[in-house]
């Protein structure tokens, strides 16, 4: 490629993060500004302890998020959280109308026990069918953590088995429901989403685009690379890269930035989650550049998500420059704790320089 074809500046439609964990309380205050300075909006995951199960809880959580935004006049002060509810076996169908009227956009399906704070999740999708009918009717989206939890199924196969056992019947029974297969990690999921029709989409994280499962074991056990769904083989990473390079509007940005204090990650039982919010766009730019697809980043980050959710695009822009910088190894987190971002202490090639 001629040198002139490789840009040194990328100006993007102000993007959105369609899958984000920001926690609550002091932790929320520590992490939210990183997202607000890059993204116009974010889909906020409801897996707090206890989970956000009702419209009232979601609206109260929304207020706490708004209060944690940067001050008026600072970049990110206008950040907008998009709220979700945690779907359980017992979510009443009447909750869906209330949620819709309150501006809640989606419900999150966690198979019970699949990941961090998912004990209250769904034990059998059929138990939620009357609620899913209400969602289909009201136009709320279903966001799925696409892994089965059967201990007999190998952890690396759980996403593929989920497609057969849950996604296919779900699509057959609710053809009009908009479903987002969150944080896909396998070729199976990428192919499934590409062939599943206009009402099925997927979010893709930066870490699943940049790393395969070797990263977890590089020179010793690396807890900061442990997330769920767990990183997969290289063949799967390549399939995710092909999906984003295709430019298909059914794949869009969702960081799944999942903050845990460093002491929780560097423990004998390590919590699942990669904290990527401090350099999310930079990591995506690196992934797209690695396959010569930087021209596809703008639509992936700022156009496909709003189109699928039926929302307008953001109006501003963000600019990234090719400028090597070192991401801090550790950052303050909640009450005197610290947090280690993915790639902390390492040099990144791209750097966000402004939000307009």
C-alpha atoms less than 13 angstroms from C-alpha of 73 in its C-beta half-sphere: 0
Phi, psi of 234 (to 5 degrees): -55, -35
Given the complex with Zn ion, which of 116 and 128 has the nearer CB atom? 116
Residue 273 interacting partner from Zn ion, ligand NCD, none (CB closer than 5 to 8 Å by kind): ligand NCD
By CB under 6 A, residue 257 contacts ligand NCD: no
| 17 contacts Zn ion (rule: CB under 5 A) | no
- Among 256, 261, 278, 281, the residue binding Zn ion under the rule CB under 5 A is 256
| Residue 277 binding target from Zn ion, ligand NCD, none, CB below 5 to 8 Å by type | none
| Residue 248, CB-side half-sphere exposure with 13 Å CA sphere | 21
CB-CB contact of 18 with 252 (8 Å): yes
143 to 172, contacts with ligand NCD by CB under 6 A? 145
Geometric angle at alpha carbon 96, from 91 and 100, rounded to 5°: 145
Under the binding rule (CB under 6 A), the answer on residue 273 touching ligand NCD is yes
Which one is catalytic: 256, 295, 298, 335? 256
Tell me which DSSP letter residue 221 carries. -
Cα(206)–Cα(155) distance, integer angstroms: 21
Is 16 part of the annotated catalytic residue set? no
With left for phi above 0 and alpha for psi between -120 and 50, is residue 336 left, alpha or beta? Answer: left
* Residues near Zn ion (CB under 5 A), total: 1
Torsion angle of C-alpha atoms 342, 347, 348, 354, degrees rounded to 10: 100
Say how far apart CA 222 and CA 54 lie, in whole Å.
37
Size of the site for ligand NCD (CB under 6 A): 11
Confirm or reject binding of residue 116 to ligand NCD (CB under 6 A): yes
CB of residue 198 vs ligand NCD: minimum separation in angstroms?
25
Taking the complex as a whole, the smallest distance from the CB of residue 272 to ligand NCD amounts, in Å, to 3
Tell me which residues touch ligand NCD (CB under 6 A): 21, 47, 115-116, 145, 227-228, 256, 258, 272-273
Active site residues: 256
Tell me which residues touch Zn ion (CB under 5 A): 256
């Amino acid at each position: 490629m001629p040198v002139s074809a490789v840009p040194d500046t990328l100006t993007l439609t102000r993007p959105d993060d369609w899958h984000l964990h920001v926690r609550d309380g002091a932790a929320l205050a520590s992490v939210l500004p990183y997202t607000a300075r890059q993204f116009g909006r974010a889909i906020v995951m409801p897996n707090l302890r206890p989970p956000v199960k009702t419209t009232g809880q979601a609206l109260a959580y929304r207020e706490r998020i708004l209060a944690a935004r940067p001050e008026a006049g600072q970049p990110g002060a206008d950040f907008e959280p998009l709220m979700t509810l945690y779907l359980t076996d017992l979510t009443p169908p009447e909750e869906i109308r209330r949620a819709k009227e309150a501006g809640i956009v989606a419900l999150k399906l966690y198979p019970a026990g699949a990941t961090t704070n998912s004990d209250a999740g769904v034990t059998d999708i059929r138990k939620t069918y009357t609620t899913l009918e209400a969602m289909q009717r009201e136009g709320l989206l279903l966001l799925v953590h696409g892994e089965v939890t059967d201990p007999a199924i190998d952890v690396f196969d759980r996403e593929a088995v989920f497609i057969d056992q849950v996604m296919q019947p779900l699509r057959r029974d609710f053809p009009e429901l908009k479903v987002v297969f969150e944080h896909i990690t396998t070729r199976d999921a990428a192919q499934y989403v590409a062939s599943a029709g206009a009402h099925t989409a997927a979010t893709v994280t930066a870490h699943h685009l940049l790393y395969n499962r070797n990263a977890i074991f590089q020179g010793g056990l690396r807890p900061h690379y442990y997330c769920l769904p767990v990183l997969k083989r290289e063949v799967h990473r390549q399939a995710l890269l092909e999906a984003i390079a295709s430019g298909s509007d059914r794949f869009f940005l969702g960081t799944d930035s999942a903050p845990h204090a460093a002491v929780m990650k560097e423990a004998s039982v390590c919590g699942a989650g990669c904290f990527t919010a401090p350099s999310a766009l930079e990591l995506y730019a690196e992934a797209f550049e690695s396959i010569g697809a930087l021209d596809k980043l703008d639509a992936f980050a700022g156009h496909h998500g709003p189109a699928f959710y039926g929302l307008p695009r953001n109006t501003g822009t963000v600019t990234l420059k090719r400028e090597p910088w070192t991401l801090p190894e550790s950052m303050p987190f909640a009450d005197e704790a610290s947090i280690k971002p993915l790639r902390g202490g390492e040099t990144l090639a791209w750097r966000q320089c402004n939000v307009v």
